Structure 1
Amino acid sequence: MDLTTTAYGTWSGGRFMHFGETLSEDRYKECIQIAYEAGFRTFVTADVYGNGKADELLGEALEGVDRSSYCLVGTLGHDFYEGQRQGNRGYPRFTDPELRGEDGYAGYLKMACEKSLERCKTDHFDMLMLHNPDEAGYTSEAVWGGLENLRSLELTRQLGIAPGPANGFTLDLIHALEKFGDSIDWAMLILNPLEPWPVGLALPACEKFDVKVLTRVVDFGGLFFGDMQAGHAFKPGDHRAYRPDGWVEHGLEKIEKMKPIAERHGLSMVQFAAIWNLSQSPVRSVVPTFIQEAGEQARPIEARIREFAVMPEVRLSAEEIEEVKAIGDNTGCMTLKGASKRHAISERPDEWPMREDLLELAGRYELGTEW
């Protein structure tokens, strides 16, 4: 089964990524079941969430459901089997040279894939993605050869790439599409009306190489769901508390300017955000973060899931897409991850020095030279 228009991610519910209230295991599984009952037919998981626990709970929640009736997307990349957690950086990528050399990539990927499938209670993924790759993930033939081996073993039908965890990697992604485009069917990218940059720069290349796009963070940290107001108080440890001061208020001001377009099409604001993404030709699927916000006035997460399950068959015009992009323009608002002139050496797995081949690529795609 291919990915459907709406997808449900196992990072929802606060158990494995700290957003809002943390759901109990039972409620977490019930939300997955509610998502299926409401019409979600694509589920996205990552083996590193909870060191396999997210896979396990998803498998338990969908146990007994006809496997041919839903699309399962897995992601591999962080080695929590042999790697040691590095504080806020999380677990190292499996490509870390302190863990193994290129000759060990294929073996690791096969082992990690089979273990993830076992926890999900199935024998195959419909699509398997490379999760938060480091520079080797974007450039190594051994990595993509190892992933293609999983396809040949029928452990997955399709392959994809999921840059992250923060935004950036534009030149690295396009380079990977040029080099491994025959292997890459999908890319999971951060995109929403308040964050059209920098992913918007990569969409033409995705279209050129026939790579379909699954967009995450479509809800912009929950803002498009409509429950957060100016001065919203985040619980200690909530990931969104690390955003710049005033981001909620600034975002709400821009959303107000977008509301007439949403109302014109009869859309709620979260539907509008999703439809804006889906109106851009490489984007085929959207996956939000479902959050149980704190406070008595917050809507239940279950209501959010039901609201998002089935998108109206509406698409915005090219003029409307550009109008929204102009309102939400965030160009230059953050320090991007990936290759950058800022770095002389690679000190983190998500940042590395700029290369001449990437600057040449930027020139060909008219993306400028200030990276």
Structure 2
Amino acid sequence: MDLTPTAYGTWSAGRFMHFGETLPEERFLSCIQTAWDDGIRTFVTADVYGNGKADELLGQALADKPREEYCLVGMVGHDFYEGQRQGARGYPRFTELHAPGKFRDYLRQSCEKSLERCRTDRFDLLMLHNPDETGYTSDAVWDGLRALKSEGLAERIGLAPGPANGFTLDLIDCIERRGADIDWMMLILNPLEPWPSCHVLPVCEKNGIKVLTRVADYGGLFHGDMKQGHVFKPGDHRSYRAEGWVDHGLAKIEKMRPIAEKHGLSLIQFASIWNLSQPAVESVVPTFIQEASEGARSIEEQIHDFAALPDVRLTAEESEKVRQIGDNTGCMTLKGASKRHQVSERPDEWPMREDLLELAGRHGLGTEW
């Protein structure tokens, strides 16, 4: 089964990434049931969330569902089996801890363990989670991923870059080198963050790569529960964003609202439909957040809202108008290859290569990286 337009991710509900209130395990499970009851049939998990606990809970929640009636998307790449957590950076990538000759074995073992926790024998899509430079470029990594597909452990394979936005040149380079192997890619995209994924989408379309978009809710703003002056609980994952981002984003949303109302869409439906109106985008997985503020809707209501997504698309003119309102070009320092670095000091930033600058020139992306 391939991915459906609506998807549910196990990072929702605050247990494994700290957004809003942290839901107890019983309600976490019931939210997955709510998504199922509402017709959502694609479920996304990562083995590193809760060191396998997210896999286990998803497997528990779907245990009585016919396997052929849902699409299961898994992500592997962070080695929490042998690696030590490095604070906010999380666990190291397997490519940092193992020699290339061991990449294939690691990928198989981590895939099999994740499948066991999910109580199934295959992923419909398995994605390389938050790769470093080696993950994008190593033949050994991609040989390992192809082997999982040929052995039937994964029907499709793909890339899930992150955790922050960027990696633009690295992604385009990876697509041009290995596009025949990549079935899907997961990108950050929403009406308030069209950049930099806007540069990758046409390349995905040209190479027949389908796109799953995350953060369609823009940190919860498109769920409609956050108001001007919103105050986050201590430790909320969104606190890292620049001061004033909520008020600034809400002001832009008001300018977009007439287009949403024209199509009879709620805000999260509008954001999702805008995503689905972009080249190559075929599935959307927002984050469902139980806000701590008074009067906030329940996560269950957010799921009902999203699951009722109508089968409509914005016109090219509407889509472009929204992009112009939400234009965030240059709003952040991009991750991945950059002239800022002479050496690779962190797993998500590395020195620029001449071949990537040549690629940028070919795609009209300039030289300021």
Task: Give the aligned partner of residue 24 of structure 1.
Answer: 24
Match of 1:216 in 2: 214
Counterparts of 1:8 and 1:184, CA distance in 2? 22
Q: Determine the C-alpha separation between the residues in 1 that align with 2:328 and 2:293.
A: 30
> 1:45-56 to 2 correspondence within 5 Å?
45-56=45-56
Query: Which residue in 2 is equivalent to 1:83?
Result: 83
Tell me the CA shift for residue 64 of structure 1.
Answer: 1.0
Q: Secondary structure of the residue that 2:79 maps to in structure 1?
A: coil
1:192-233 CA-partner distances (Å, limit 9, x unpaired): 000000000111100111100000000000001111001111
Match of 1:43 in 2: 43
Deviations 1:173-207 (A, max 9, x none): 00000111111000000000000000001111001
Structure 1 SS opposite 2:157: strand
The size of the alignment, in residue pairs, is 369
**Residue identity opposite 1:254 in structure 2:** K
Counterparts in 2 of 1:341-356, with a 5 A limit? 341-356=339-354
Query: Helix, strand or coil: the match of 1:187?
Result: strand
Out of 108, 113, 117, which is 1:119 matched to?
117
Cα distance in 2 between the residues matched to 1:152 and 1:215:
26
Secondary structure of 1:74 counterpart: strand
Q: 2: distance between equivalents of 1:9 and 1:118? A: 18
Partner of 2:300: 302
CA shift for structure 1 position 296: 3.5
Match in the other structure for 2:107: 109
Given that residues 6 and 310 in structure 1 are in contact (C-alpha distance below 8 angstroms), is that contact kept between their aligned partners in structure 2?
Answer: no
Q: What does residue range 1-371 of structure 1 map to in structure 2 within 5 Å?
A: 1-96=1-96, 99-371=97-369
Structure-2 separation of matches of 1:23 and 1:80: 24
The amino acid across from 2:156 in the alignment is: Q
Asked if the contact 2:266–2:305 (Cα under 8 Å) also holds between the matched residues in 1, the reply is: no
The answer to whether the 8 A contact 1:40-1:310 is kept is no
Query: What letter matches 2:337 in structure 1?
Result: A
Contact (CA 8 Å) 1:160, 1:184: kept in 2 or not? yes
1:281 is displaced (CA, Å) by: 2.4
Q: Deviations over 1:142-190 (max 9, x none)?
A: 0010001101110010001011000000100000001111110000000
SS in 2 for 1:189: strand
Q: Percent identity?
A: 72
Q: Is the 8 A contact 2:133 2:350 kept in 1?
A: yes
1:295 Cα shift? 3.1
**What secondary structure does 2:74 align onto?**
strand
* Residues 202 and 279 in structure 2, CA contact (< 8 A), matched pair in contact too: no
Letter in 1 for 2:221: L
> SS of the residue aligned with 1:95?
helix
DSSP 3-state at the match of 1:200: helix
Whether the 8 Å contact between 1:162 and 1:189 is mirrored in structure 2 is yes
**One-letter amino acid matched to 1:334:** M
User: Following the alignment from structure 2 to structure 1, what is the Cα–Cα distance between the partners of residues 78 and 164?
Assistant: 15
TM-score, normalized by length of structure 1?
Answer: 0.99
Which runs of 5 or more structure 2 residues have no equivalent in the other structure? none
- Give me the whole-angstrom Cα distance separating, in 2, the residues matched to 1:133 and 1:256: 36
In 2, the alpha carbon distance for the partners of 1:133 and 1:196 equals 22
Letter matched to residue 352 of structure 1:
W
Aligned partners of 1:126, 1:242: CA distance in 2, in Å? 33
Paired residue type of 1:209: N
Whether the aligned pair in 1 keeps the contact of 2:158 and 2:185 (CA below 8 Å) is yes
1:53-111 CA distances to partner (integer Å, 9 max, x unpaired)? 00000000111110100000000000000111111110000000xx2110000000000
Q: Letter of the aligned partner of 2:199 in structure 1?
A: L
Deviates more, 1:262-271 or 1:125-134: 262-271
The one-letter code sitting in structure 1 at the alignment partner of 2:272 is A
Partners of 2:311 and 2:284 lie apart in 1 by 14
Q: CA deviation at 1:116?
A: 0.1
Q: Distance in 1 between matches of 2:328 and 2:113?
A: 40
Alpha-carbon distance in 2 for matches of 1:7, 1:300: 18
State how far apart, in whole Å, the 2-side matches of 1:315 and 1:108 are: 41
Q: How much does 1:313 deviate?
A: 1.2
Gaps of 5+ in 1: none
On the 8 A contact 2:204/2:210 being kept in 1, the answer is: yes
The one-character-per-residue Cα deviations of 1:251-288 (angstroms, maximum 9, x if unpaired) are 00000000011111111111000000101120000000
Measure the CA separation in 1 of the matches of 2:319 and 2:54: 35
**CA positional deviation for 1:126:** 0.2
Segment of structure 1 superposing worse, 21-30 or 304-313: 304-313
Which runs of at least 4 in structure 1 moved beyond 3 Å after TM superposition? none
Paired amino acid for 1:82 = E
